[in-house]
Amino acid sequence: MKFNENLQSAFDWFTGAPLNITVITVLALSIQVFGGRAITRAMLRIADADLIPGPKRAGARQKERAKTTGTVLKSTLNGSIWLIAIFMILSEFGLNLGPLIASAGVIGVALGLGAQTLVRDILSGIFMLVEDQYGVGDQVNVLDVTGVVETVGLRITTVRDNEGTIWYLRNGEILKIGNKSQPKV
């Protein structure tokens, strides 16, 4: 079947960049959905597993830690997927990504030096989660705030005090914390 020249050029254009961008977007969405489901299933298994035998093991606490870790993993997965997808889409528009990727090391060093507090907050958040220092629902004293932990993230922990004020505490600035909710060993 032979098309006229205008229809053929429109068909060639559509099967080029627009089709590739659509495929990239659909693949990114699919990986995001399936990866999110896999992370959720893995975290549900971890939440129900007997990882810490003995009296200190608290089922609800382990479930909250698994939920927080799952949220962090999903955010990391989504960020990675969409960063790669955006680079692939930009390359479909003809942008030369070679110099951008080659300069990523220099940009990474500059960002690392400029974002030291952000890196410190995230590293502190990772260690706080791994060491199980506190979790959602714990009654804590941190800095000059006393209240209940509402959310725990890699960078920020939110605490609601007794007057109802919500405090956003950067994990890198939390040097000491008192947790009234952890059971005695």
The count of structural domains within the chain is: 2
Q: Residue 146 belongs to a domain with what CATH number?
A: 2.30.30.60
What value does the mean pLDDT take over residues 117-145? Answer: 84
Window from 10-19, 75-84, 159-168 with minimum mean pLDDT: 10-19
Judged by DSSP in three states, 179 sits in strand
2 and 80 both lie in a single domain: yes
Q: Is the pLDDT of residue 24 over 70?
A: yes
CA angle 83, 73, 33 (to 5 degrees): 70
Task: Output the pTM of the full model.
Answer: 0.58
63 and 114 both lie in a single domain: no
pLDDT for 164: 92
| Domain limit, last residue, from 45, 74, 98 | 98
46 and 90 both lie in a single domain: yes
What residue has token string 């030291």?
116
23 and 36 both lie in a single domain: yes
90 and 113 both lie in a single domain: no
Q: Which residue range(s) make up the domain with 156?
A: 103-185
First-last CA distance in the chain: 79
124 and 151 both lie in a single domain: yes
pLDDT for 36: 93
85 and 135 both lie in a single domain: no
Give the number of other Cβ atoms within 10 Å of residue 38's Cβ. 13
pLDDT for 120: 86
| Domain limit, last residue, from 45, 78, 98 | 98
Instruction: Give 145 or 132, the one with higher predicted confidence.
Output: 145
Asked if 42 contacts 96 with a C-beta cutoff of 8 angstroms, the reply is no
79 and 117 both lie in a single domain: no
50 and 66 both lie in a single domain: yes
Q: What is the pLDDT of residues 47-82, one digit of tens each?
A: 777 665 555 555 666 777 778 788 888 988 998 999
DSSP of 7-63:
HHHHHHHHTTHHHHHHHHHHHHHHHHHHHHHHHHHHHHHHHHS--S-STT--HHHHH
pLDDT tier at 124 (50, 70, 90 boundaries)? confident
115 and 144 both lie in a single domain: yes
- 3-state DSSP of 115-171: CHHHHHHHHHHHHHHHHCCCCCCCEEEECCEEEEEEEECCCEEEEEECCCCEEEEEH
68 and 152 both lie in a single domain: no
60 and 128 both lie in a single domain: no
| Domain limit, last residue, from 66, 98, 130 | 98
